[in-house]
A and B are shown apart, each in its own frame.
Chain A
Amino acid sequence: MISNSKSRKVFQVINTVVIIAVTASCLIPLLNVLAISLSNSQAIVANEVGIWPKMFTADAYSYVMKSTKFWTSAAVSLKRVVIGVPLSILLTLLAAYPLSKPELAFPARKYYVAYLLVVMVFNGGLIPTYYVISQLNMIDTIWALTLPCAVNIFNIILVMNFFRNIPAELEESAMLDGASQWTVLTRIYLPLSKPSVATITLFCLVNHWNSWFDGLIYSNYTYNYPLQSYLQTIVTSTRDALFEGDVKAIMDMMNLNTTNIKSAQIFISMLPLLVIYPFLQKYFTAGLTLGSVKG
């Protein structure tokens, strides 16, 4: 039933053009930052850089490669990912498994659900949370960046719903053979839940990599900043505050200015996400449909 009327063809053309224009609007700013990072400072100041580098140079990248501040903060980011993501997954599984059981098997379930719901709809706000973290002496430690966000209720719900769709017969037969709940979780549920575990792993990974505000407020010293917090100070700083005196003179000699150095740092910080982007695409959508199956 495909109609090939004239108006249909006109519509198809306009539709395609609009879609391409909208898509280009997503791509152009990203290409622009990449082009600037690879351009000579003179070309940038002369306003010649569009989505393609002008007077190509990778000097900004070699400058960033030598920047200790950049790498120190990248190391903090890596550390929070390595500690934070596994911890978060462990806590999510520990909570999701019991909560996936029906009320008959786990009568106290409703109290735990209420306990979690309160946290979902209400929070203490910025200042009380900050005060608690500082009273726990966590300021300037990696724990301030990994522990407070370790339990994510939405991830728990997502995994819980996935667990619920696993046939109860599997559990029953394992129990008949003498397996404990712990064995059922690790030997039966976990291997069957790879897609949902992959999804929450990616959620946690992206969250940790992109978080910047906690690093900003829970660190007194800039060397404790994760990459995004460090970037934040650069992005929002006025231009020459960053580079003074001798550094400024050296920069003028090379083909650098704050714009291409900023752009290079922005682009490098995006790289890890671009690398895992195919997985993100696959599992984030899968995660949505997993989460939408309600028991």
Chain B
Amino acid sequence: MIFHAMLFLPCLFLLIFNYLPIAGIVMAFQDFHPGLGFLGSKWVGMENFHTLCLLPDTWPAIRNTLIIAVGKIIGNLVIPVAFALMLNEVRRKSFKRTVQTITYLPYFLSWVVLSGILINFLSPGSTADACGLFNTILMKTGLIKEPVYFLGTKSTFRGTMIVSDIWKNFGFNTIVYLAALTGVDPGLYEAAAVDGAGRLRQTFHITLPGIAPFIALMTILSIGNVLSAGFDQIFNLYSPAVYETGDIIDTLVYRLGLINQQYSLSAAVGVFKSAVSMILIVSGYKLADKYAGYRVF
């Protein structure tokens, strides 16, 4: 009995703040007006979804979401693994620790703070404003002649989102992989060295296979993020000039719902995203359980 009593409060919170909104999804199938409520609003079935398919913003948003999210998933996998392998070759402990301390820091800063920093850092300059440090460095080293407006150009926006996201997170992810690296049996390295394998071969034939199950697990668990391209980041860094390549599902939901007050349409986009994500997350967990013995609860 006492167990039920303990769980009562947490479950009540979930009921109010998670289950009620799930029930509120009904509005995606209505012509919902806040004044009329759920009971008073007209039922329209799939009409909102039909409207969405005709909306010019929908397909670019889905495309951009997929491109940015997949780019981030791959980058957030490859870069930290590579960096962990590189750090693993460093002997001096103090150097290793300093590097980790510095690269880990951006992970804890909010996208609001990092956006403030990046807007400045990447600024191409204008009549009233100085050129950002990044463009200054690129021009001084002769890599570019004219400053590039990374955040305001359609062709560079998505890449900037992917790279800056990796930049924020790789320090944290590296620590995760470094922890996995310590689990590789040192005896294997000794045996390989006796057999004449160099460091490079050891890396490819012992280290990587050693952490492969872990890498696979992290990949499977990140599949659920395919429709989450990073609202916090993009919302703070995009502008109407780059909507064509930078608008994602979550920012579209925000603009449709809270700016244009199209509650039903916005909720319909949200339902689409939640449903697809759910399928991906559940399949991810199933795969992880089957192949890695990973269980959530």
Contacts and interface: CB of A to CB of B under 8 A. Distances in A.
Contacts of A255: none
B121 interface: yes
Question: Quick one: which of B7, B16, B105, B254 has the most chain A CB within 10 A?
Answer: B7
A23 B101 CA distance: 9
Interface of A: 1, 3, 8, 11-12, 15-16, 18-19, 22-23, 25-30, 32-33, 36, 44-47, 49-51, 91-92, 94-95, 97-99, 101, 106, 108, 112-113, 115-132, 134, 136, 147-148, 150-151, 156-157, 160, 180-182, 185, 206, 209-213, 217, 228, 231-232, 234-236, 239, 259, 262-263, 266, 269-270, 273, 277, 280-281, 284-285, 288-289, 294-295
Contact of B270 (A12, A27, A127): A127
Question: Quick one: which of B16, B24, B113 has the most chain A CB within 10 A?
Answer: B113
B27 A269 contact: no
Contact of B125 (A3, A47, A95, A101): A47
B241 interface: no
Contacts of B105: 26, 30, 277
Given A46-B130, A294-B294, A131 B113 contact: no
Contacts of A151: 10, 13-14, 17-18
B102 to A, nearest CB: 5
Interface string B3-41: 110110111011011111111110100000010000000
B296 interface: yes
B103 interface: yes
A48 B165 CA distance: 28
Contact of B13 (A19, A22, A91, A157): A91
A122 B189 CA distance: 44
Contacts of B216: none
A139 to B, nearest CB: 12
A59 to B, nearest CB: 18
B270 A124 contact: yes
B133 interface: yes
Question: Quick one: which of B89, B112, B273 has the most chain A CB within 10 A?
Answer: B112
Chain A contact residues: over half helix, strand or loop, or mixed?
helix
A19 B17 CA distance: 44
A45 B257 contact: no
A235 B112 contact: yes
Interface in B63-88: 83, 86-87
A19 B86 contact: yes
A122 B274 contact: yes
Contacts of B199: 3, 8, 11
Given A19-B86, A47-B136, A285-B179, A124 B7 contact: no
Nearest to A122: B278
B118 interface: yes
A126 B268 CA distance: 11
Contacts of B295: 294-295
A125 B274 contact: yes
A140 to B, nearest CB: 15
A288 B66 CA distance: 28
B116 A239 contact: no
B179 A288 contact: yes
Given A95-B7, A127-B27, 16 more contacts: A1-B190, A15-B90, A26-B167, A33-B120, A33-B121, A47-B125, A97-B6, A124-B25, A124-B270, A127-B258, A147-B16, A182-B2, A235-B119, A236-B115, A269-B113, A280-B108
Contacts of A15: 86, 89-90
Nearest to B236: A236
B109 interface: yes
Given A101-B3, A181-B2, A30 B117 contact: yes
Given A3-B199, A45-B130, A94-B7, A281 B253 contact: no
A94 B11 CA distance: 10
B267 A29 contact: no
A185 B6 CA distance: 11
Contacts of B104: 281
Contact of A263 (B120, B171, B175, B274): B120
Question: Quick one: which of B102, B193, B295 has the most chain A CB within 10 A?
Answer: B102
Contacts of B231: 213
